[in-house]
């Protein structure tokens, strides 16, 4: 999945110009779903937990922490197991982040995570191949993509805590 984000700092202007929604969407061309080629599974998988009012949900996630792995994300995947996901680490606070579903063949739940590891917002059941930007709605550090419907099944809500090595212990 491609993303738009606007970091702060000396490279902010160059980054913003390179990764605005229209520019980033053009970097990876639209692919015929029958011949879509994404990136292989990012290994090793890493443990991630979500502490909700209903209990703790455990996942093994792919970790996307480079421009390339974040840009390709889950593109061209035909399925995502209920206990799997992808964590996009932006390595610092970002304002103005938005994701969309270019070449993403499966619907997803997109969970935007604040720098302190709490859930900021959730885009539920984002349709496959929809290129409409889905904004975070505030400052984030990371994004977690899960199979569509999992956030509702698990009762994940804004304010819930994500437990992963990139977030401070709560």
Q: Are 65 and 44 in contact (CB under 8 A)?
A: no
Beta strands in the chain (DSSP E): 3-6, 46-52, 55-64, 84-99, 108-113, 119-126, 134-135, 140-147, 161-163
CA atoms within 13 A on the CB side of 111: 27
pLDDT digits (tens, 9 = 90+) for 105-116: 999 999 999 999
> What is the length of the chain?
170
CATH class of 3-27+42-163: mainly beta
Over residues 21-48, the pLDDT tens digits come to: 434 445 899 999 999 999 999 999 999 9
Predicted TM-score of the model (pTM): 0.86
Query: Which residues lie across from 56 on neighbouring strands?
Result: 51
As a whole number of angstroms, the distance between CA 153 and CA 72 comes to: 27
């Amino acid at each position: 999945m491609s993303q738009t984000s606007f970091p702060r700092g000396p490279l902010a202007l160059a980054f913003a110009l390179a990764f605005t929604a229209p520019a980033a969407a053009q970097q990876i061309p639209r692919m015929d779903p029958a011949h879509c080629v994404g990136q292989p599974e990012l290994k090793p998988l890493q443990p991630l937990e979500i502490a909700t009012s209903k209990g703790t949900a455990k996942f093994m996630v792919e970790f996307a922490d480079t421009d390339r792995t974040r840009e390709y994300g889950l593109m061209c995947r035909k399925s995502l197991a209920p206990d799997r996901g992808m964590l996009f680490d932006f390595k610092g606070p970002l304002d103005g982040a938005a994701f969309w579903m270019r070449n993403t063949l499966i619907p997803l739940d997109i969970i935007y995570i604040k720098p302190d590891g709490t859930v900021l917002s959730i885009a539920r059941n984002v349709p496959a191949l929809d290129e409409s930007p889905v904004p975070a709605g505030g400052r984030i550090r990371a994004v977690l993509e899960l199979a569509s419907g999992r956030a509702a099944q698990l009762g994940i809500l804004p304010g819930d805590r994500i437990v992963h090595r990139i977030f401070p212990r709560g």
